[in-house]
A and B are shown apart, each in its own frame.
Chain A
Amino acid sequence: MRGDHQTLALLLFSVFIAVTLGITTWVGRKRQGSAEEFYAGGRLFSPMENGFAIAGDYMSAASFLGISGLIALYGYDGMLYSVGFLVAWLVVLLLVAELVRNCGRFTLADVVAARMAERPVRTAVGISSVTVSVLYLVAQMVGAGSLVALLLGGTSDTVRAWTVVGVGALMVVYVSLGGMRATTWIQIVKAVLLMAGAVTLTVLVLVRFHGDVNALLTSAADRSGHGRDFLSPGLRYGGSWTARFDFVSLGLALVLGTAGLPHILSRFYTVPTARAARRSVVWSIGLIGSFYLMTVVLGFGAAALVGSAEVRTSNASGNTAVPLLALVLGGGEGSTGGTVLFAVVAAIAFATILAVVAGITLASSASVAHDLYASLRRRGAKPRSEVAVARVAAAGVGVVAIGLGLLAQDLNVAFLVGLAFAVAASANLPALLYSLFWRSFTTRGAVWAVYGGLVPAVLLVLLSPVVSGSPTSLFPGVDLALFPLENPGLVSIPAGFLAGWLGTVTSSEPPDPAKHAETEVRSLTGAGAA
């Protein structure tokens, strides 16, 4: 039985890898690499294509397997995540997408640096963008290792290590050979697969209960062992006040961080206009919203059909809830249907990870080449050489991510995603919003906003229970935990905004009204947009 899963799942993995490599070589052969092509895929994707690609970039394996798993274990409290992940898109839609598309060329730093002394601002935003990307990337890589091991049954360290290396190598190939165009198509393929998988499973769950959601929730509550409490908040975050503040902190980071994620922002440059950027966000909100609604059904479905206890036995953090649910829906252990569905789910999860890491690698290589390298190199170098730097940077980021992924293999790195969102919300978002909306914002304000959010966020995590002082920490033996929360957002996000304000009001350099006029006019009309 296990053998059948593995063979079929490996076959599907290979098909996906073959298809994506095919896309990459096809794209790579057809085009020569200009910066426009490499970072923005030629800017001619349609809103629907980009909407799918955004959804593909955003819906990680952590949401597909992790959130459904949390719901299967903790009921309602798992659902809180889905709400945060979705509502975040309103910030992107209302405040960020169109204006960023109008003002920038390839990265977030383009927008912030346009009004300021370019070098220090570009460097600061580049550093925070790379930090966010690497945190997110390591979380995904470690997740990939344990996920593949989990789904294929082999929990040995070698399997996991080779998965991390393989995923890293593939993402470097996708990005450095195919650039944004290949990455976008991979995201689209992945988003379609993920949505198809989620729809199939959701329909099967609802059919099991004859479309009666009431019956689904009742039997989920019954089999969870918590009764009615399963359907109301409190099982996971209702305990101590620390736990409650922790969730509020995470919730803030999720909602404000999405609009500062470099790999999300760079997606808006793949469409021709701000209008198209808005329409792609509308598409992606539709896709992401329906996807998270389906994860709710899948989570409660897993609780009802598999049982919370069984999910917990299989994997303590619930990551196997959906695969187990697929097995049951297909007819149970040993049936052909069960085997096929299980393998399909495993393959989709794998595709999801590959696509997400490719997107992040591309964004971080853009930050390295376009922001860090470009602000440190001599003026007047050709754009062609910047793309060459970006390709090398992708390989460099890949090597770093593989290395960190291997080192962190046995550590509990679930907090890294929350941390990436927190850094994005504390460092990138204040600088971005201030430069778009605040007339008197200055260079010093921008630099302070970035470091004033980045440094507290990272420091607070180093001083938090995720690093030391509790049995589940990275270093349980040491106790440096001065800060009680696992997610720094509650403190570091206000700190970033405050530092930006403080830097601006204490700055001796007066703001340049003409530069502000330029940013404002360009952001709202699209005049001179790339």
Chain B
Amino acid sequence: MEKEAGPDTAVLRLDDPWDEASAAGWSEPDGAGATAADGRPRPVERRGHTAAEVYLEVQGSPAFREVRRRYRRFVVPAAAAFLLWYLAYVIAATTAHDLMARPVAGVLNVAMVAGLGQFLTTFLLTWAYARHARLHRDRVALELRWETQEMTRGAER
């Protein structure tokens, strides 16, 4: 497993916020990684000795656990829900013909409504996930990224 070399990390640090600004429309006024998280615990104070120790340390830090918790709390229920909803749809479409053929309005029947519903829920979940990640994860994750990179760089020198 190759570790980040020092010069690479330095290049990343220079390039990345800039790329974010042009490519991803990053609009935080203070720039990426320039300030500490407001009121959030700083992840790590002590420096690790090797890169492996750094990663273990970051993994155990409250800030990282918070990012992971926020990610999982959204993704696990959401993934379970849409997979079940899709499976239910496919099974109903292949087995429950009478239910699916029941008219709802005009020529629209249950099957049509369910099919369009799949499209709609996909769009909605996409929007909700992107919003959740943008508001609740991106900032902390980015700070953790700089700090971890800083630490691994220190660790390898």
Contacts and interface: CB of A to CB of B under 8 A. Distances in A.
Interface of A: 44-47, 76-77, 79-80, 83-84, 86-87, 89-91, 93-95, 98, 114, 118, 214, 217-218, 221, 228-229, 231-234, 237-238, 243-244, 247-248, 251-252, 255, 271-273, 275-276, 278-279, 281-282, 285-286, 289, 292-293, 513-515, 517-518, 520-522, 524-529
Best-surrounded residue of A79, A83, A228, A278 (most CB of chain B within 10 A): A83
Given A44-B19, A524-B64, A95 B90 contact: no
Contacts of B93: 76-77, 80, 233, 237, 247
A74 to B, nearest CB: 12
What is the size category of the interface that chain B forms with chain A? 35 or more
A232 B109 contact: yes
B23 A44 contact: yes
Nearest to B127: A282
Contact of B107 (A46, A80, A218, A281): A218
Given A285-B123, A524-B64, A232 B71 contact: no
Contacts of A286: 123, 126
Nearest to A115: B1
Given A95-B79, A255-B86, A524-B68, A232 B101 contact: yes
Contacts of B87: 248, 251-252
Contact of A275 (B4, B119, B138): B138
A248 B152 contact: no
B contact face: mostly helix, strand, loop, or mixed: helix
A93 B129 CA distance: 8
A346 B54 CA distance: 57
A525 B144 contact: yes
A248 B94 contact: yes
Contacts of B68: 520, 524
Contacts of A86: 118-119, 122
B94 A271 contact: no
Contacts of A44: 19, 23
Contacts of B55: 514, 517-518, 521-522
15 contacts: A45-B23, A77-B93, A90-B79, A90-B125, A90-B126, A231-B101, A238-B94, A251-B86, A251-B90, A273-B16, A286-B123, A286-B126, A518-B51, A520-B59, A527-B148
Contacts of B133: 98, 275, 278
